[in-house]
Amino acid sequence: MKSTVALRAGIAALALVAGKLPVCAETVLRVAYQKDISTFDPDNAFPLYGIDALHVIYQGLVQYQPGTTELTGWLAERWSVSEDGLTYRFRLHDNVRFHDGRALTASDVLAYFRRRKRPDLALSYFLNGVADMKAPDARTFVIRLTAPDPAFLDRLASAWGPKVVGPGALVDHAGSDHAETWLNEHEDGTGPYRITQINRGQRYVLSRNEDYWGKRPYFDRIQIEIVPQMAQQMLMLNKGDLDLIQNGYPFEQLRHLPSGLRLLVYDDLGLEMAYVNRSKRLRDPTLRRAVLTALNPAGWLDDAFFGFATPAHSLYPKAMIAAREPVDFPSDLAAARAIVAAAPPVTLEIGYGDQERAVQQRAAELLASALERIGIHATLRSYPLDQALLFAEDLQRAPDLYLAQNYPDAAHPATQTGVFFSSTAPLNFFGYKNPHIDQLIDAADRVSDRAERDRRYLVISQQLFADTAFIPLADIRDVIVYRQGLTGLDPRPALPWVVDYESIRRE
């Protein structure tokens, strides 16, 4: 009796020890998300979490180069645009394989793009301007637009842009919903990594694709843990249970980094903006200008972001359009105070978005303090983005100011105006309608020459600011905190919170 007990105990102990021994020479990168991935379907995945995973599982026709907003080929080796700007021809690489081994041909790309156009998919609007598509031979893919769209290639390179899904999904597992259900938790891509473990709410594991057609990435595995608390992520990073934190590291802690950790700071396309509700307490334009004095980021930016933000130069992120001078805010506090004193007493409600809520909260608090200094009392309230979308329906119940950091779809200014400033823009929270602005936007969208286009967009920005409809506040810098020894992180402005797993390696 006793000997078998001892034997079993011994085996259990051995198993425990064996389980804890590291597998020989396997390279693993450990990262964490604060929120769970919603879906692995590249045509439905609009949230910000999971873009880094999708970026290495699936690939699009074109992509942005690391650290820039310049385009380069991805699945397309090269491309050409017709004279009239309507037809795009893409020449595909000839050695691309899907994860199930099938070779990629232009007809696969065509089949995928047709699927992306389906209106019940969340991201189908990316292809709204497409008239028709063809695959004349195995390596050529042609798209024809209804009207010239200088932003089209940027849309293709967007973090949420079309990324080719193979027939292993779209044909073999089409089901009754064009593989929508299957692609939630499976994949058939062409990228350097494939999904090998899905444990919803806890962990996702990506393993290297050994038959990848491009350069072999360094890490065998990418391990993604779901850790909702940033405090916990920080402790794990300190202990070595995590290799990097891609976003969310508190700014106030960046000056107290423990040894062994490094910082990578870069600019992304998220602009911190204040939206103004001009139908409620801020109806009076003079009062609005007084509020602008308090809103001046020079007065509170460093307190909010501890040096990791710069005042905005326009209503476009600096990585998108680099305007030369900062925005001209009124700076006469005494005059502002006088205006406020002369007007009837007013209490403003400041709403703030919940994208990186702690940061927005801090900014809103400081804004409230600044408003106190000119004599306006302010209350604060957090509004998740989808609640903010209901503002326009009832402007009297909506807050007076709304602070948010939102991301355009891509690096072209047309995606910024189209998402925020035009009359029909989905994130035009307070429903600002100005036909003249719409005309300007329309005209600017058609211009191909970069300098001319930027000039026109900046004019739009100045007019919107003069009208105190949208207030550009800051370009908040993104910070990646990582364990020393890692290199090749290669973030891109147009891909928020994304570390390039294809190029990252340990020295």
Partner 1 sequence: MILRVLLRTELRTKSGALPLIGLLFITLLAVAGPIFAPANPLLRVDTPYLDPSFQHWLGTDEVGRDLLSRILYGIRLTWFPVLAVIALTSAIGTLVGAVAAAAGGLVELLLNRFCELMMVIPATLIALAAVASLGPGTWHLVAAISVFWWPWYARIAHTEIRRVATRAHVEAARLAGVGRPRLFLRYLLPAALPSLVVAASLDVANVILVLAMFSFLGLGAPAPAPELGAMTAQSLVSLTTHGWIPLSPAIVIFILAFTANLAGDGIRQRMEST
Partner 2 sequence: MFIAKRLISLVGILIAMTFIVFSLQQIIPADPVRAIVGMNAPRATAEARRKELGLDQPLPQRYGRYLSRLAVGDLGVSTRTHRPVAVDLAHFLPASAELMLAAFAVGITLALAAALPNAAGHGGNAVATGIIAASSAPIFLVAQVFALILWYWLGWFPGGGRLGPDTPPPDGPTGLFVLDGLLNGHPSTSIEALYHLAIPALTLALPVAAALGRALTSSMTGVLRQTYVRTARAKGLSEFAVVRRHVLRNAAPVPVAMVGLQFQQMFMNILIVEGLFAWPGVGSYLVQAFAASDLPAILGVSIAFGGCYLVLAALIDVLQALLDPRIEAR
Sites of contact with partner 1 (CB under 8 A): 229-231, 234-235, 238, 250, 252-253, 256, 303, 358, 361-362, 364-366, 368-369, 372, 379-382, 387
Q: Distance from CA of residue 6 to its chain's centroid?
A: 56
Alpha carbons 347 and 344: distance in angstroms, whole number: 10
Pick what 296 binds: partner 2, partner 1, none; C-beta below 5 to 8 Å, kind-dependent: none
Pick what 361 binds: partner 1, partner 2, none; C-beta below 5 to 8 Å, kind-dependent: partner 1
Beta partners for residue 88, in sequence order? 81, 143
- Whichever of 8 and 381 has its CB closer to partner 1, that residue is 381
Pick what 465 binds: partner 1, partner 2, none; C-beta below 5 to 8 Å, kind-dependent: none
Tokens of 426: 């989905």
- Whichever of 144 and 337 has its CB closer to partner 1, that residue is 337
Task: Catalog residues that contact partner 2 under the rule CB under 8 A.
Answer: 12, 15-16, 18-20, 22-23, 28, 30, 35-36, 38-39, 41, 44, 46-47, 119-120, 122-125, 128, 160, 180-181, 184, 197, 199-203, 223, 225-229, 232, 235-236, 239, 241, 354, 384-387, 389-390, 406, 409, 419, 424, 426-427
Pick what 6 binds: partner 2, partner 1, none; C-beta below 5 to 8 Å, kind-dependent: none
Q: In this structure, how many other beta carbons lie within 10 angstroms of the beta carbon of residue 331?
A: 12
3-state secondary structure of 224: strand
Pick what 46 binds: partner 2, partner 1, none; C-beta below 5 to 8 Å, kind-dependent: partner 2
Integer angstrom CA distances of residue 54 from 97, 161, 219, 325: 17, 11, 16, 37
Alpha carbons 503 and 493: distance in angstroms, whole number: 16
- Pairing type for strands 140-145 and 130-137 reads antiparallel
Alpha carbons 495 and 485: distance in angstroms, whole number: 23
Using alpha carbons, select from 495, 454, 150, 463 the residue that is nearest to residue 322: 454
Pick what 230 binds: partner 2, partner 1, none; C-beta below 5 to 8 Å, kind-dependent: partner 1
- Whichever of 199 and 331 has its CB closer to partner 2, that residue is 199
- Whichever of 284 and 303 has its CB closer to partner 1, that residue is 303
- Pairing type for strands 347-352 and 62-64 reads unpaired
Tokens of 310: 């710069």
Q: Do 201 and 32 form a contact (C-beta atoms < 8 A)?
A: no
Nearest-approach distance from CB 258 to partner 1, in angstroms: 8
Nearest-approach distance from CB 236 to partner 2, in angstroms: 7
Using alpha carbons, select from 410, 380, 428 the residue that is nearest to residue 320: 410
Find the length of the chain: 507
Q: Do 249 and 255 form a contact (C-beta atoms < 8 A)?
A: no
Pick what 445 binds: partner 1, partner 2, none; C-beta below 5 to 8 Å, kind-dependent: none
- Whichever of 201 and 435 has its CB closer to partner 2, that residue is 201
Nearest-approach distance from CB 268 to partner 2, in angstroms: 16
Nearest-approach distance from CB 231 to partner 1, in angstroms: 4
Nearest-approach distance from CB 228 to partner 2, in angstroms: 5
